[in-house]
Amino acid sequence: MRLNGQRRWAAAGVVVACAVATFGVALSAPAGAAPGCRVDYTANNWGGGGFGGKVKITNLGDALSNWTLKFTFPGSQRVTQGWSANWTQSGADVTATSMSWNGSLGTGAATEIGFNGSYSGTNTDPATFTLNGTTCTGVVPTSTTTTTTTTSGNPNPNPGNRVDNPYANAKMYVNPDWSAKAAAEPGGSRVANQPTGVWIDRIAAITGTVDGRGIEGHLNEAVRQAAGSPLVIQFVIYNLPGRDCSALASNGELKPTEIDRYKTEYIDPIAAILAKPAYKDLRIVTTVEIDSLPNLITNVTPRPTKVDACDVMKANGNYITGVGYALAKLGAIPNVYNYLDIGHHGWIGWDDNFGPTAELLFQAANASGSTKANVHGFIANTANYGALKEPYFTIDDSVNGTSVRQSKWVDWNRYVDELSYAQAFRQRAVQAGFDANVGMLIDTSRNGWGGSARPTGPGPKTTVDTYVNGGKLDRRIHLGNWCNQSGAGLGERPKAAPAAGIDAYVWMKPPGESDGASKEIPNNEGKGADKMCDPTYTGNIRNGNNMSGALADAPLSGKWFSAQFQELMRNAYPAL
């Protein structure tokens, strides 16, 4: 069910050396406004005549609604690729203009833009910057007016009964249906009391199926478990038309054009149940439509990884329409907390994917009558395997002058684990327009990577690949492998507020529930056979043409997979 590592298909910068120059910049502003700003320019050189540049602009004057940065390279430098601004170069003169999401800079506000470049000879920093036509002065204006910054849209992102972090000081719902299956496994009683997400992956799941009770059954049990105390119950909203356009194993029952059925037969009934007065004291967390919107960034034309079905969904707009509708309907319920899916670092961590995904999520958050106030936060690594933290190497490490970003495993990604990715994405989402107090969840249900294969220290510094491969906790063959991974283990147990900006570590994907079938299995749930779930499959462009790393004899997605559950317990970290 989880997509593939998506390589950035453009030249990338590598940080192996750092030189920082700070410049004061005075900004031209509306009539009567006092200009003033600081620019921090950082050039990071690497071998082969390439470098990465970062420019941080801090507004020390009155508020601006847009900006144009200009500077002149003193040598042969060329901008080859840029992000977070519209970059152009004429001769040695470089211009960067603001984008829709970072043009407004209040007093004291900052934005950071960047680029990759090439050079020959010496890479000397630019001597002068101008912004909106005004040359650097380095002087903080004395006539800056005092202003109050307000957030557009709903000024209170937590209306009704909502708290800032729903997981704080609250119990978490233990699904009795999953708990019974876990407890029936040898050794399973050690984790059978852990809270897990409840997946509503088809219309029939609303009222209940042979695999488990319906939404009201879970909510009634949650009220019982709460016993008057705050309690979080987690639902995965997962039934978009043309669902998960890039992975057959997790295709759904609704065809690409059936947006009306999604609204009236799926979202509306769910919202009606969640809004019942009997459940008003529960904290209901919804993970909204995993593996949907990021596909519209990474798997559409002209990307080399394009999938025809994803082109269809981008063209008809039903992912954006559907997600917006779900957010609006569910967000209208005062005790519901919507968290939007952001994939994982091995999918979205490249420059070409990172910012555009945040901006697309903001578009969806404001579609179909929704506003950004209906998004309480985001969730990373849902049903995936990315390591929470890689302790034995960082993205800034290098071996013999070669950055780890050039290793086959990292492949120019900006992130090496889910915690750094989630924290960075949170900041980028705020830049895209989301409220500053949005929270993050990380699914740690299957990213422990313990057992005998777990490294105990850094890899040998023979080459950058031996260093990364020898020290990485994530033991997958390739970051793009996502189906029932061999060697995976249970990760950090669910907990509230475990790190800065993180609302909780959660087990949103119930351990032991299959990602997809190893071979075709007839079913009426719309779920196909994806080759990435076949352990004999030799791969494709999205996983670097590597073996799939999947366990054999897996059942349909969502069905109980005893061999996987045993594997996860055996390799749990922290160990059971």
C-alpha span between 528 and 508 (Å, rounded): 22
Active site residue 260: no
The owner of tokens 């170069």 is 89
3-state class of 364 per DSSP? Answer: helix
Choose, from 62, 201, 244, 291, the residue flagged as catalytic.
291
The structure tokens listed for 343 are 């994939």
The structure tokens listed for 244 are 């998960």
Active site residue 291: yes
Q: Of all helices (H) and strands (E), which one includes residue 207?
A: helix 204-207
- Dihedral sign computed on CA atoms, order 480, 237, 211, 520: negative
Task: Output the CA–CA distances (angstroms, integers) from residue 464 to 125, 392, 461, 473, 527, in the order listed.
Answer: 29, 13, 7, 16, 40
Q: Of all helices (H) and strands (E), which one includes residue 109?
A: none
Cα radius of gyration rounded to whole Å, the chain = 24
Residue in 271, 501, 514 with CA at minimum distance from that of residue 383 = 514
- Do 574 and 491 touch, CB atoms closer than 8 A? no
**360 phi and psi angles, rounded to 5 deg:** -65, -40
Residue in 419, 413, 391, 311 with CA at minimum distance from that of residue 4 = 413
Task: Output the CA–CA distances (angstroms, integers) from residue 30 to 63, 148, 465, in the order listed.
Answer: 9, 17, 53
**Exposure b/e, 236-261, CB count within 10 A at least 16 = b:** bbbbbbbbbbbbbbbbbbbebebbeb
C-alpha span between 197 and 172 (Å, rounded): 10
Choose, from 244, 435, 515, 534, the residue flagged as catalytic.
515
The DSSP secondary structure of 406-453, one letter per residue, reads: GSTTTTT-S-SSHHHHHHHHHHHHHHHT--TT-EEEEE-TT----STT
3-state class of 39 per DSSP? Answer: strand
**How many CB atoms are closer than 10 A to CB 452?**
7
CA 97 and chain centroid, separation? 26
**Can the peptide bond before residue 574 be classed as cis, meaning omega within 30 degrees of 0?**
yes
C-alpha span between 97 and 115 (Å, rounded): 13
**Which residues are tagged catalytic?**
291, 515
